[in-house]
Amino acid sequence: MLPLPRSWSLRPGPPFRLDADSEIDAGPGTEDTARWLSATVGAATGLPLPVRDGSAPGVRLRLDARTERSLGPEGYLLESGPAGVTLTGGGPAGLFWAAQTLRQLLGPAAYRRAPVRRDAVWTVPPVVIEDAPRFRWRGLMLDVARHFLPKDGVLRYLDLMAAHKMNTLHLHLTDDQGWRVQIRRYPRLTEVGGWRPRSRVGLTSSPLWDERPHGGYYTQDDVREIVAYAADRHITVVPEIDMPAHSQAAIAAHPELGVGDVVDTAAVEVWTEWGLSPNVLAPSDTVLRFYEHVLEEILELFPGPYVHIGGDECPMGQWRASPSVQARRTALGLPDEVALQHWLNRHFAEWLAERGRRPAAWDEIMDRRSPASGAGAQAAAWADTGAAFGAVSGAVRADVRPDARPSAESDLPPATTVLSWRGTAGGVAAVRAGHTAVMCPEEHLYLDHRQAAEGEPVPIGYVRTLADVYRFEPVPAGLTEEEAGRVAGAQGNAWSEALETPQRLDYQVFPRLAALAEVTWSDLPAPAERDVAEFEARMAGHRARLDALGVDHRRPGGPLPWQRRPGVPGRPMA
């Protein structure tokens, strides 16, 4: 089983046989899971699996919120014997995860969309499984801004997440290279910002170009469908509208948003480069009102508690050179551009909190200016990182907050959630300030990064193998019990500069997402004590499920011939 359940034991006696006479007995409140089981497992097995309130042998679904078993809202109890299977959820989500476990017990063929063999025998071993997740945020971020993933691809990934008991999909909807969500009030955001004339193949230093225009966006009905589909699978969708950096597509559509007294914003186009653009939003009242209007529509579309406002990697060059921006900074009584960015991000965090939402942002939202003595080393580190992206982006990255550090002193709304990508320091600062943190450090959980030192399709970033992800621990050492309780979980980030097709996305995400699913669900020992060999043995069986689902995952021996990208340069890091 994967992820590994909290406890399980075999019962004596024969297995239960699921057959043409089997029914689904749906108790009150279980109808949604019953329909999912009948449709999904029914399609794979070819069995009718009618949903009835009857006594025929089959699958019995119940909700039980009593605390004596301490199931919790996402916990469940699965009991199987020769007379049938009973799934008991501590809440609707727990019941749905129990149904996912039942599907695993039926074997890899239960993951297909139609029967492979009409004479197949479907059995469930006699077991008792009691299970509940360790973390409440078990996430995947899909970057649909750099390379657009059409709606059907998002729906497919929601099914893949559900199969792994993951419950949070973070959609990176806007960036320099594209704006991917329809905003009725501002149609130019998608009419102009949703398309770029060409795309670089590989990372920024690559001489290769795909000269085809690239783009696309989700209509508001597309978004409603995605959100409803996710809700049926007990997955929360977190939208990200990035600001004040990563905003060139918005500026191309609406030049009034940029720093117009420094650059000719009317000449700005949707960016065709990767890396980080120097064009950022102006900290003006025009920008505040514009993005408030955008967020009003985002709140209508995404009813979940979280809205992500970006806040990362803001180059300060245009702000420093702009008389209007400097006048705004002085009028606000702010000492520097780092404080000005924090003011802007805090404005939107408070705006969201006032409307009952939980603002989320990358860990730069915790930054404060550090003493000058530490600036040189940090600036050099940014410059080294930037150089790997290419000369243009490297120069911009060297200008990004070179002497700012995460601080545990916070004036943000208490409900703010911080996603810690620059290591775990930002998350540690957040939980010590009383906020919630989600761990997604680049050096561990960036799934676009390479999986071996040699032979990867587009070698990006650090080498992080399946075993490396399995050894990741979301709770850093040194936290108190109270602080550790504010670590909501972890997520894998799939940045898409080099993930231009669903096949490329599959290769980078799987099977490492399966390892992260277990890290965030199961009560595992300390990283050094985790039984990687045992996990990889279970992964051998799980790969058959991925094959049945049509996932073009990375095999243990490396990329298959069609997964290779010979001659496409990446950005390997030590």
Closest residue by Cα to residue 281 from 236, 249, 329: 249
Active site residue: 74, 242, 313, 337, which one?
A: 313
Residue closest to 287 by CA, chosen among 299, 295, 297: 295
Six token digits for residue 307: 């809205």
Q: Where are the beta strands (DSSP E) in 198-354?
A: 199-200, 209-210, 214-215, 236-243, 306-310
Q: Collapsing DSSP states into helix, strand and coil, what is residue 216?
A: coil
Is residue 523 part of the annotated active site? The answer reads no
- Catalytic annotation present for 313: yes
CA distance 347 to 355: 13
Q: What is the four-CA torsion angle of 101, 107, 112, 115, rounded to 10 degrees?
A: -130
Give me the catalytic one of 64, 143, 175, 222: 175
Angle at 55 between CA 49 and CA 56, to 5 degrees: 45
Identity at 213, one-letter amino acid code: P
Residue 372: C-alpha distances to residues 42, 309, 316, 366 (Å):
65, 29, 17, 18
Q: Which residue has the tokens 């699913």?
A: 517
Contact status, residue 108 vs residue 545, Cβ threshold 8 Å: yes
Contact assessment for residue 520 and residue 166, using Cβ atoms and an 8 Å cutoff: yes
Question: Within its chain, how far is the Cα of 522 from the centroid?
Answer: 19
Alpha-carbon torsion 558, 562, 565, 570, what sign?
Answer: negative
Give yes or no for a contact between 142 and 169, defined as CB atoms under 8 angstroms apart: yes
List the structure tokens of 244: 């004040």
Contact call for residues 563 and 553 (beta carbons, < 8 A): no
Per-residue DSSP letters for 92-155?
Answer: HHHHHHHHHHHHHHT-GGGGSSS-S-TT--EEE--EEEEE--S-SEEEEEEETTTS---HHHHH
Q: Report whether 282 contacts 260 (CB < 8 A).
A: yes
At 342, which helix (H) or strand (E)? helix 337-354
Q: Which residues lie closer than 8 Å to 356 by C-beta, 6 or more apart? A: none
Name the nearest CA neighbour of 34 among 62, 73, 5.
62
Are residues 172 and 311 in contact, defined by beta-carbon separation less than 8 angstroms?
no
Q: Is 175 among the catalytic positions?
A: yes
CA gap 293, 284 in Å, rounded: 14
Q: Which of 234, 246, 254, 342 is catalytic?
A: 246
Q: How far is CA 396 from the centre of its chain?
A: 26
CA separation for the pair 62, 571 (Å, rounded): 51
Which residues contact residue 238 at a Cβ distance below 8 angstroms, ignoring those fewer than 6 apart? Answer: 139, 168, 169, 170, 171, 302, 304, 306, 307, 308, 360
Catalytic residue IDs: 175, 246, 313
